[in-house]
Structure 1
Amino acid sequence: MISKKQEITADFALVIVALVWGVTFLPMAKALQTNGVFTLLFWRFLIASILMVLISLKFIKKIDIKGIKYGLIVGVFLFFGFALQTFALKYTLSSTVAFITGLVVVFVPFLMWAIFKLNIKFHSYLGAIFAAVGLYILCDGDLGFGLGELLSLVCAFAYAFEIILAGYYVKKCEIFIMVTTEFIVVAVLSFICAIIFEGSYLPVLDSAFIWAVGITATFATVFAFFVQNIAQRYTSSVKTALILTLEPVSAGFIGYYFGAEILSTWQIFGAFIILVGILISEIGSYFFETIVNKKRLKR
């Protein structure tokens, strides 16, 4: 039985993850000016895989076949999510990519119902609606139909499946094995695509590449994905997707303050609406649990 303290701690950890991911959008966008999408992803996840293997050696006592199997499945969706998102950064603003990718919060509840037939609580739907409205406002009410926006939308679906499947599998296997396998899958697929589509996996070793790969491999990959997978043992996939909408909020402000990208007062208001959606889900979860516990006590 998961306690409320464990759930709140997991939710707070996901907030940190979302903020870390938001910070990485601008460095990745700058690195893409001189390096290919798959080259960047290959080196990011190769370094992350090596670090994860070294960390795992201390904790793993035996190989978990389930962890490898689940990691392979989740890793494929993770690869498509990252590849599509990184490609999108070539065709539109980093803040726009972040905002549209955040629509994952809308997809997850319905996919959870469609795949696992799980009943989603009303406050989760309400929080998702607020977040979706906030994302629309953040996009200034104009999502467009450009290639960058389309890639971002498909990316959101890929991430939705990654969140749902990770939340389901992480409770059934060794987490170190699963996460390490995910990273290796993304690194291998990125290497293959770099050779096929970019002609080489060797990067342009400029400051933008070193900075982007350094910060994303360590903080945004090893730290963030490991924390996300642990947190999903103690909170729902729907709430995970909702909290991770803070990623486009932080990305938008980073793009505004450090990347000379423009955010209007209306867009800032959209960020506020997203926060309201997260609070509705969090507070709603608390009150729902309280009501359930009171009913149990009366019995």
Structure 2
Amino acid sequence: MSRLSANALLLLAAAIWGGAFVAQANAMAHVGPAWFTGLRFIPAFLVVLPLGLIESRRAARPLTRRNWLSLIPLGLSFTAGTLLQQIAVVTTSVTHVGFLTGLYVLFVPVLELVVFRRPPHFLVIPAALSALAGTWLLGGGLDGLMLGDILTIVAALCFAVQIILMDRYVRATGRPVAAALGQSLVCVAIGLGAGAVFEPIDWNAVMAILPELAYAGILSGGVAFLLQAIGQQYTPAPDAAVLLMAESLFAALFAALLLGERLTTAGWAGCTLLFLALVTVQLGPLVRLPRFRAR
């Protein structure tokens, strides 16, 4: 797969995620965050499972014990980020959650530099800052941190870890579907377990959110994360983080098309900065610093 095709898959995943914030917020009027998190990843797991079986049959070698164990930290980081984000939707505005979740675009290159001593392409940091500024303008800024804001910042850090672990797992095994299935299974187990212990459940309420579960589960939780896993085989993690951050841009576009919302001048400026960030990441590897010869 070409890098251009991989980037297109990552952008499609971002578009699907862009529509998920509304589903997540609407569902919180009926069920708790743990139940919703656990339930949404049941269809996510099932819709990807047939592809996992095909991938397993075609694999050149079976997964080792170390490969299976590597799915645990991947699933834990993903589940932690998802749960924290879902709780934050209840305790702060969706605008704040959408903005602060985008902080993972900065956390990814920082973590890769600090932990793995792997510096990103020199254009990734300016692109990340441009995307971050664009999301700030798109969301209207922040007027003070609340508990939900802090939870979202921690969630963004968890998602940054997940992006890096996904990158390393897929490159080591060549099994993107196994990675998507593994993190979904961990999410189901922890979400349903926490829901059963801490949250009362009304099954009539569950029936009321079936459309939200279908979108957040099948499309956002299943298809989009599978696209992420495939795309990250061919796009470096820091670049992928900036591309995936376009979910905030798609969220604004969906709101305008489906809900009749209109962007302010600052919002259009934010869209422009996000677009520039995506172009920078796309063209970045073609740019090389000049080499100077000693005289």
TM-score, structure 1 normalization:
0.88
The answer to whether the Cα contact below 8 Å between 1:99 and 1:249 also exists between their aligned partners in 2 is: no
CA gap 1:185/1:127 in 2 versus in 1, 3 angstroms? same
* Aligned equivalents of 2:264, 2:7: Cα separation in 1: 29
The aligned residue for residue 59 of structure 1 is 55
State the shift of 1:202 in Å: 4.6
| 1:96 positional shift | 2.7
Distance (Å, rounded) in 1 between the aligned partners of 2:145 and 2:112: 27
Where 2:123 maps in the other structure, the secondary structure is helix
Counterpart for residue 125 of structure 2: 125
Cα separation, partners in 2 of 1:90 and 1:8, compared to 1, 3 Å: same
Separation (CA, whole Å) in 1 of partners of 2:150 and 2:262:
21
Question: Which residue does 2:8 correspond to in 1?
Answer: 12
Q: Report what 2:34 is aligned to.
A: 38
* Corresponding position of 1:175: 176
Q: Distance in 1 between matches of 2:177 and 2:67?
A: 8
- In structure 1, the partner of 2:187 is 186
The CA distance in 2 between the partners of 1:203 and 1:40, in whole Å, is: 14
Gaps of 5+ in 1: 293-299
Structure 2 match to 1:116: 116
Whether contact under 8 Å (2:43, 2:222) holds in the other structure is no
Range moving further from structure 2, 44-53 or 215-224 = 44-53
SS of match in other structure, 1:120:
coil
The alpha carbon displacement at 1:260 in A equals: 7.1
Number of residue pairs matched?
287
User: Which residue of the partner structure matches residue 273 of structure 1?
Assistant: 273
Question: Given residue 25 of structure 2, which amino acid in structure 1 is its aligned partner?
Answer: A
Q: Deviations over 1:63-116 (max 9, x none)?
A: 553442222111101101111111111123323311210111111111110111
* Residue 221 (structure 1) aligns with: 221
Q: How many percent identity over aligned positions?
A: 23
Q: 1:64 to 1:224 in 2, by over 3 A?
A: farther
**Bigger Cα displacement from structure 2, 109-118 vs 125-134:** 125-134
1:271 Cα offset (Å): 2.1
CA deviations 1:217-254 (Å, max 9, x no partner) are 11112211111111111111000110111111112333
- Equivalent residue letter for 2:197: I
Structure 1's 237 and 74: CA in aligned 2 closer, same or farther, altered over 3 A? same
Moved more, 50-59 or 209-218: 50-59
How has the CA–CA distance of structure 1 residues 219 and 63 changed in structure 2, closer, same or farther, with 3 Å as cutoff? same
Structure 1 range deviating more: 57-66 or 182-191? 57-66
Measure, in 2, the Cα distance between the counterparts of 1:240 and 1:178.
16
State how far apart, in whole Å, the 2-side matches of 1:260 and 1:196 are.
40
Work out the CA distance in 1 between the residues paired with 2:256 and 2:148.
19
The separation in 2 between residues aligned to 1:155 and 1:67, in whole angstroms, is: 25
Residue equivalent to 1:243: 243
2-side partners of 1:254 and 1:65: how far apart?
A: 43
The answer to whether the 8 A contact 2:138-2:268 is kept is yes
Question: In structure 1, what is the equivalent of residue 164 of structure 2?
Answer: 164
Q: Secondary structure at the match of 2:56?
A: coil
More deviation in 156-165 or 134-143?
134-143
Of the structure 1 ranges 91-100 and 34-43, higher mean CA displacement relative to structure 2 is found in 91-100
Q: Give the equivalent residue in structure 2 for 1:78.
A: 78
* Structure 2 unaligned spans of 5+: none
Distance in 1 separating the partners of 2:141 and 2:39 = 36
Conservation of the 8 A alpha-carbon contact between 2:18 and 2:251: yes
**Please, what is the CA RMSD of the aligned residues?**
2.3
Structure 2 Cα separation of the partners of residues 162 and 215 of structure 1: 22
SS in 2 for 1:234: coil
